[in-house]
Amino acid sequence: MKIITTIKEMQQEVKQLKNNQLSIGYVPTMGYLHEGHAALIDEARKNNDKVVISIFVNPLQFGPNEDFDAYPRDIDRDERIAKEHGVDFIFYPSVEEMYPRGLSVSLSVTDRTEVLCGKSRPGHFDGVVTVLTKLFHIIQPDRAYFGLKDAQQVAVVDGLITDYHFPLELIPIPTVREEDGLAKSSRNVRLTSSEREEAPQIYKTLLHAQELIKAGERDTISLVERLKEKLANSITGTIDYLEILSYPELRKLELAEGKVIIAVAVFYQKVRLIDNIILEVPRP
């Protein structure tokens, strides 16, 4: 496994791989790797000649009151996990390497961001597509792997790849969970013991939504009201949002039909947790 810190060296390695007609599977991360990242890496390992991951905490996707400085970092741990799962290259650039000066061209997401996390985090997804555009050009992957825990990000990346004709395949991977159902996240370490104990109620609420829909409930307003009440009564955190939308378009629905996402975000003292399930709901 090789660790690369400069764009120039990464591009040189990619050029050599392309000359040898080797396929590249790519997993973008912000580090502090866990089983969720490992699942993405393992999938990339199965279907590509070489696997590249990037570790870069992107300042452009953090708002002024968000946790850029507090975001967990442990490169030694990341290196060990990456090596165990067969990563060939870690691209580990500094902020100065990725953004040596102000941007002369800016990217702005105009669809799929007015709901869910995008609604309360203006500019977040602009930062996501900016850094991914850079990384896609640098690494030139054949396939890029993203976890569906952040399903809105997957939807936005799908739009980026489609609109700008990136010659790569987007591979969404199902959410990896703890034994009690809590979605794996680098931020889970910042939950207090009592918060961690109740956090699985988030996923249980999503499963309850699935049961209600399977039982024939389709009215999204009624569903959301019932789900919010259930979740609020089982946690001490504050519900940021709970929405039922079409996927990947992320349009509001009156009736839960077709491919839908049920997504939720909860604020705790030091962390914000997100989760979702995606369902295919038969039309009448």
Verify whether residue 37 is a known catalytic residue: yes
Place of tokens 């009448």: 284
Distance separating alpha carbons of residues 246 and 112, to the nearest angstrom: 10
- DSSP H or E run through 3: strand 2-4
Q: Is 240 annotated as a binding residue?
A: no
Q: Is 184 annotated as a binding residue?
A: yes
- Pairing label, strands 238-246, 258-267: antiparallel
Q: Is 208 annotated as a binding residue?
A: no
Q: Is 165 annotated as a binding residue?
A: no
Q: Is 245 annotated as a binding residue?
A: no
Q: Is 169 annotated as a binding residue?
A: no
| Active-site hit among 37, 124, 165, 208 | 37
Beta-carbon contacts of 214 under 8 Å, excluding residues fewer than 6 positions away, are none
* Residue among 44, 29, 40, 23 at smallest CA distance from 140: 23
Q: Is 270 annotated as a binding residue?
A: no
* Continuous H helices in the chain: 7-19, 35-47, 75-84, 95-98, 116-120, 124-139, 151-163, 193-198, 201-214, 220-232
Q: Is 149 annotated as a binding residue?
A: yes
Q: Is 9 annotated as a binding residue?
A: no
User: By the 8 A CB rule, do 82 and 90 touch?
Assistant: yes
CA torsion sign for 65, 70, 71, 75 is positive
Q: Is 61 annotated as a binding residue?
A: yes
What are the C-alpha distances in Å from 124 to residues 59, 60, 68, 116, 153?
Answer: 10, 7, 12, 12, 10
Q: Is 142 annotated as a binding residue?
A: no
Q: Is 119 annotated as a binding residue?
A: no
Q: Is 30 annotated as a binding residue?
A: yes
Half-sphere exposure of 235 (CA within 13 A, CB side): 29
Distance separating alpha carbons of residues 177 and 180, to the nearest angstrom: 8
Q: Is 201 annotated as a binding residue?
A: no
Q: Is 237 annotated as a binding residue?
A: no
DSSP line for 14-42: HHHHHHTT--EEEEEE-S---HHHHHHHH
Residue ranges of the annotated binding site for ATP are 30-37, 147-150, 176, 184-187
Binding residues for beta-alanine: 61
Active site residues: 37
Please state the residue numbers annotated as binding site. 30-37, 61, 147-150, 153, 176, 184-187
